[in-house]
Amino acid sequence: MPVEMLRATTPAPPSPPATPADGRERVLAACRAMDDAGGPLPPEQLAAAAGWSTRQLHRRFAEVTGTTPRAYGEALRAARLGPALAETRDTVLDAAFATGYGSVRAFYEQGAARLGMTPSAWAGGGRGERLLWTAGPCSLAGEDLQLLVVASLAGVVAVRLGSDVEALLAEVAGELPLAQLAREDDALTDVLGAVRALARGSAGPVLPVDVRGTAFQAAVWAALRRIPAGQTRSYAEVAAEVGSPGAVRAVGTACARNPAALVTPCHRVVRSDGGLGGFRWGLEVKRALLDAERG
């Protein structure tokens, strides 16, 4: 629905309580309105699009999506920001206003937080950001794998498991093609050792993380790091802990997109019925990690 039509829409009269399916459709209507606008919209416009009061919209939106309407709209705008910068590469200021940020300050505060670096660095494909990496063998679930660890000066950026180090590195580097990726085995010896210890189920030093994601993802990943080794939480329990009990599926998605496995232990999240759920490197590896932690 075009933004102009939304502005002309008056709030709908009170309606009967929404069914779950109807509620999802109303949330989708609000999402589509922001999709069309390319960013956040005033609460009154979103409520009109959904046929709810602003209070109902905020509550039901969080139940369905696991985030707020404002955060969803900001994420949309930030998603447009990267392509806008990559396409124009003229001035950061032009890109800021082209994507709807009302001031340069708001652009840097909000855009940089979502991109994980300064907007000017993103415009250069990550140019100027220095990431260090190292790799080494790691045995899990009877498989001889390679463990790749990528770190910035602030903490662990990524952890990958697989058979081909170059492929793992390319996966991480693909998001920041112009970042400075430097192999530093000596500098990261202790970091690699600490991550290896986690794979063996052993306790080690708490590693700082420097991961990039949405506010909801960051909240989920922080909750995962609070789960003690050898214990598990259900996706529903994690959703409740981050204040979004209806966002069970969104928690699962955040776990699947966890960039720093082992350091952020997504393998400790299971289904409510006790099933293992999913895991990026397979259920055998997930089971092996849990068994190792339980001794």
Task: Show which residues are catalytic.
Answer: 266
Task: Tell which phi-psi region holds residue 286, choosing left (phi > 0), alpha (psi between -120 and 50) or beta.
Answer: alpha
Q: Where are the beta strands (DSSP E) in the chain?
A: 130-140, 143-151, 156-162, 180-183, 233-234, 269-270
Q: What is the pairing mode between strands 156-162 and 143-151?
A: antiparallel
Residues facing 122 on adjacent strands: none
Contacts of 201 (CB under 8 A, 6+ apart): 229, 230, 289, 291, 292, 293, 294, 295
Q: What is the pairing mode between strands 130-140 and 143-151?
A: antiparallel
Q: Where are the beta strands (DSSP E) in 77-142?
A: 130-140
